[in-house]
Amino acid sequence: MDFLPLFHKLQDRRVLVVGGGEVALRKARLLADAGAVLRVVAPVVRDELIVLIGEKGEQLLRGYQLSDLDGVALIIAATDDEALNAQVSADAQARGIPVNVVDAPALCSVIFPAIVDRSPLVVAVTSGGDAPVLARLVRAKIESWIPASYGQLAGLAKKFRARVRTLFPDVQQRRVFWEDVFQGPIAEGVFAGKLNEAEQQLEAKIAGAAPQALGEVYLVGAGPGDPDLLTFRALRLMQQADVVLYDRLVAPPIIELCRRDAERVYVGKQRAAHTLPQDQINHLLVKYAKEGKRVLRLKGGDPFIFGRGGEEIEELAAHGIPFQVVPGITAASGCAAYAGIPLTHRDHAQSVRFVTGHLKDGSCDLPWGELSASGQTLVFYMGLTGLSFICEQLIRHGRAAATPAALVQQGTTQNQRVFTGTLENLPQLVAEHEVHAPTLVIVGEVVKLREKLAWFEGAQQS
């Protein structure tokens, strides 16, 4: 190990920054975040830096002098004058004051790591100056693993720390207690923004009065297919849940990301050929949660967009079962992006409508007059079966037969196929190319933009 990571307490301590430009500013921001009092020495100092220096700090608008080192806890040399940087480093080291020279590891006695800040939880990563880009990439990975609200969780722990210590003098017991808190429903409560509830639960746990754990349901949007489009929260809950109930629309590579030993229950629905009727799915969710399980209800796209997510959680709410909803990228956003079709465009579409091509009673009775107005993009979900009817109605109610339209099959996946035509010939394209579900239909002038903006290559394009 070339460097020992230590965390430097800088609150109200004076730190010397030599240099007044962009690089100095970047370092000064971090120092100010840590509560340091800045002494900035440079003939010219940027305005943003002056703001950071504030009333407590000092700006010395001149060249560097040895006396600038007096009384400082840390020194940063951030000028573009190499000789000066080397001088500052030598002076600092002669006095035994830690020094960092930006981008010159050989002149440093301390180095800045890449930081993941979830204060009071802070993660620091370094490559010792050998491969800063690698350190930054690792940092980015860690950023995605650690929920943004970890800081709040640590804050909650801090509040209870002394009491828990008294309650469990044994360190082993204490460790088990906290592991349980940080990985269970209390932590999830914090992540979902339910701070008060989480605090009450922790209170109850400490009082030894934790009620028989009631499970929880996570209604999670899995996005349109590409696993990279999952949200951080979706992935975390997928790796935590004890039972997973998933749809036909959820792509297999996404199911693979669920916890290995979780029970997987396929409740897939196909239009008019439901594997499990909706009310049975609702009952299942309630049953598992009452057994104390953490239940993941994984849905294609976004659970609140033609996903019956609302119906499922109504049942949970009626039974007093805690739940949370995690949005996903809906098929319209995913397919449009991967097909190079912006859903709105200042020249072509001032609004976009998401429409179902399949109503609950099996009909397709839609406000055709409104849908036929120009200047809007229409996105039809479940529109394949009724496609001829949809196109006919739009034309009959005034949308031009030559309006551009697209079919996006299995959008965002390696099997994505996109076909473009017009309202008039779209049904024909379905037959010609044997297009099948899941397919999204996009209608409007914006479809034309694909000619210029297509970028993603799926299985077959046209």
Using CB under 6 A as the binding rule, whether residue 410 contacts ligand SAH is answered as: yes
Q: Which stretch binds ligand SAH (CB under 6 A): 25-33, 112-120, 193-201, 303-311?
A: 303-311
39 or 358: CB nearest ligand SAH = 358
224 or 386: CB nearest ligand SAH = 224
| Residues composing the chain | 462
Cβ atoms of 28 and 49 closer than 8 Å: yes
Look at strands 114-118 and 121-125 and give their pairing. Answer: antiparallel
Burial 91-118 (b: 16+ CB within 10 A, else e): bbeeeebbbbbbeeeebbbebbbbebeb
189 or 300: CB nearest ligand SAH = 300
Cβ atoms of 344 and 352 closer than 8 Å: yes
Using CB under 6 A as the binding rule, whether residue 305 contacts ligand SAH is answered as: yes
Which one of residues 302, 355, 395, 447 is an interface residue with ligand SAH (CB under 6 A)? 302
Catalytic residue among 81, 242, 269, 287: 269
Q: Whole-angstrom Cα distance, residue 102 to residue 369?
A: 64
Using CB under 6 A as the binding rule, whether residue 412 contacts ligand SAH is answered as: yes
Using CB under 6 A as the binding rule, whether residue 331 contacts ligand SAH is answered as: yes
Please spell the DSSP secondary structure of 150-176, one letter per residue: HHHHHHHHHHHHHHHHHH--SHHHHHH
* Cβ-based neighbours of 281, under 8 Å, separated by 6 or more: 245, 267, 312
Q: Whole-angstrom Cα distance, residue 328 to residue 304?
A: 9
40 or 384: CB nearest ligand SAH = 384
User: Whose CB is nearest to ligand SAH?
Assistant: 301
Using CB under 6 A as the binding rule, whether residue 229 contacts ligand SAH is answered as: no
List strand residue ranges (DSSP E) for 164-254, in order.
216-221, 243-246
Least Å distance, CB 447 to ligand SAH, is 15
Q: Whole-angstrom Cα distance, residue 276 to residue 262?
A: 20
Alpha-helical runs (H) found in 328-458: 331-339, 368-371, 387-396, 426-432, 450-453
The DSSP symbol for 297 reads E
Which one of residues 225, 340, 386, 444 is an interface residue with ligand SAH (CB under 6 A)? 225
Site for ligand SAH in 413-452 (CB under 6 A): 437-440
200 or 363: CB nearest ligand SAH = 363
Cβ atoms of 246 and 298 closer than 8 Å: yes
Site for ligand SAH in 307-326 (CB under 6 A): 307
Q: Is 141 a catalytic residue?
A: no
Helix H or strand E segment including 232: helix 232-238
Using CB under 6 A as the binding rule, whether residue 85 contacts ligand SAH is answered as: no
Task: Give the amino acid at 169.
Answer: P
Using CB under 6 A as the binding rule, whether residue 411 contacts ligand SAH is answered as: yes
Cβ atoms of 377 and 349 closer than 8 Å: yes
Q: Is 448 a catalytic residue?
A: no
Catalytic residue among 91, 226, 247, 302: 247
Which one of residues 41, 53, 153, 249 is an interface residue with ligand SAH (CB under 6 A)? 249
Q: Which stretch binds ligand SAH (CB under 6 A): 8-16, 91-99, 113-121, 330-338?
A: 330-338
183 or 414: CB nearest ligand SAH = 414
Q: Which stretch binds ligand SAH (CB under 6 A): 49-57, 183-191, 294-302, 447-455?
A: 294-302
Least Å distance, CB 435 to ligand SAH, is 10
Active site residues: 247, 269
Give the residues lining the site for ligand SAH (CB under 6 A): 224-225, 249, 299-302, 305-307, 330-331, 335, 381-382, 408, 410-412, 437-440
